[in-house]
Amino acid sequence: MKILKTYEKALGQLINLDKSSVFFSKNMSMEQRKEVCSSLGGMVEMKQGKYLGLTMVISRTKDQIFGFIKENIRRKLQDWRNKLLSTVGKEVMLKAVSMAMPTYAMLFSNCQGSCVKTLAH
């Protein structure tokens, strides 16, 4: 808890413990995890989750990470089909979304060539 207080003082940002959680390496024992959570004021360990649409824990295969982009674009297309948009309107929206999603995701991950090729198709 001391390190969090130091952070708050140094940067002037308060940490909302109700909205915070911790991640642990799979190499850390359950006992150690419980001890850390307890020392952080009962903070909860998060197994899986998303923040701003991205998975919090990044796996080794980038294709899994970026698979959600294709799925999100597919879902948005389906929603737009049900709306009264012209073909041009749908095309503009598709281009805007399909260009923004991968860019945003790549900010948080090292997307390799094979991953980029998958997104391009």
pLDDT of residue 57: 60
Q: Which two tokens stand for residue 38?
A: 């307890």
User: What CA–CA distance (Å, rounded) separates 83 from 79?
Assistant: 7
Q: Which helix (H) or strand (E) holds 3?
A: helix 2-11
pLDDT digits (tens, 9 = 90+) for 55-109: 666 555 666 666 777 777 778 777 777 677 787 887 787 778 777 766 666 665 5
pLDDT of residue 55: 63
pLDDT of residue 72: 77
Q: Which helix (H) or strand (E) holds 21?
A: strand 21-22
pLDDT of residue 2: 82
Q: Contact at 8 Å (CB) between 44 and 37? A: yes
Q: What is the mean pLDDT of residues 105-119?
A: 56
pLDDT of residue 102: 62
